[in-house]
Amino acid sequence: VTALVLHHAKDLNLGSRKPRVAESDQLAATASLNMVLRHQVLPGRQGEADSRLVTLYCTGRGRFGNQTVTMRSRGPLDYAVTKPPVSSAPVVLNSDEQKVVEFLQGRPKTSGQIGTLMGEISDEALRSLLTRLRTKGAIRLVKSEKRPRRWRVVS
């Protein structure tokens, strides 16, 4: 298991004057991201330690989540972004997922309303469909105290 912790301080007097990897709201959004970290060892010059070229593939939570970030690491606590993050390939939706996204254009809908649209679908299959769409960053839950919960398209 690998964990990558992104940390920054808003007060320039407390931390580095280097640009931050992410803003506060982006760091909070990472809780629902799928991240795949790959690395390639770059041999160090004579007398220098090896470094790594680290690529972090992120999916989920809209534009921020669907990015690929490339960093160079000289140690476990040393990461420097080598180039600006690039957008990942557009999310591909199957026909059922596309149908739900089109249905959610406009006002938020409940899981029951989405289930009615889908016709004969089990509760488990509906939960799986909504989870896939949420993971892909296409839909999200509307924050509300009301029950049942409602879903909307991520803009």
DSSP state string for 70-123: EEEEEETTEEEEEEEEEEPPPPP--HHHHHHHHHTSSS-EEHHHHHHHH-S--H
In a domain, 32, yes or no: yes
Claim to verify: residue 44 and residue 78 sit in the same structural domain: yes
Tell which of 87, 107, 122 closes a domain: 87
Domain count within the chain:
2
Tell which of 70, 87, 104 closes a domain: 87
pLDDT at 100: 92
Contact 108, 100 (CB under 8 A): no
Claim to verify: residue 78 and residue 109 sit in the same structural domain: no
Claim to verify: residue 73 and residue 111 sit in the same structural domain: no
pLDDT at 137: 77
pLDDT at 133: 87
**Residues ≥6 apart with Cβ < 8 Å to 105:** 153
pLDDT at 154: 81
pLDDT at 63: 63
Claim to verify: residue 72 and residue 114 sit in the same structural domain: no
pLDDT at 103: 92
In tens, the pLDDT along 34-71 reads 778 788 888 877 767 778 888 888 777 666 677 888 88
Claim to verify: residue 80 and residue 51 sit in the same structural domain: yes
In a domain, 58, yes or no: yes
pLDDT at 26: 62
pLDDT at 19: 60
In a domain, 5, yes or no: no
From first to last of its 155 residues, what are the pLDDT tens digits of the chain? Answer: 555 555 555 555 555 556 655 566 666 666 667 778 788 888 877 767 778 888 888 777 666 677 888 888 888 888 888 877 777 666 678 899 999 999 999 889 998 999 998 888 888 999 999 988 887 778 888 877 777 888 888 86
In a domain, 56, yes or no: yes
Claim to verify: residue 30 and residue 82 sit in the same structural domain: yes
φ, ψ for residue 9, nearest 5 deg = -120, 135
How far is 56 from 104, CA to CA, in rounded Å?
31
Tell which of 87, 107, 134 closes a domain: 87
127 Cα distance to chain centroid: 20
Domain range for 42 is: 24-87
Claim to verify: residue 113 and residue 65 sit in the same structural domain: no
pLDDT at 30: 63
The CATH number of whichever domain residue 106 belongs to comes to 1.10.10.10
Q: What is the pTM of this model?
A: 0.49
Claim to verify: residue 113 and residue 68 sit in the same structural domain: no
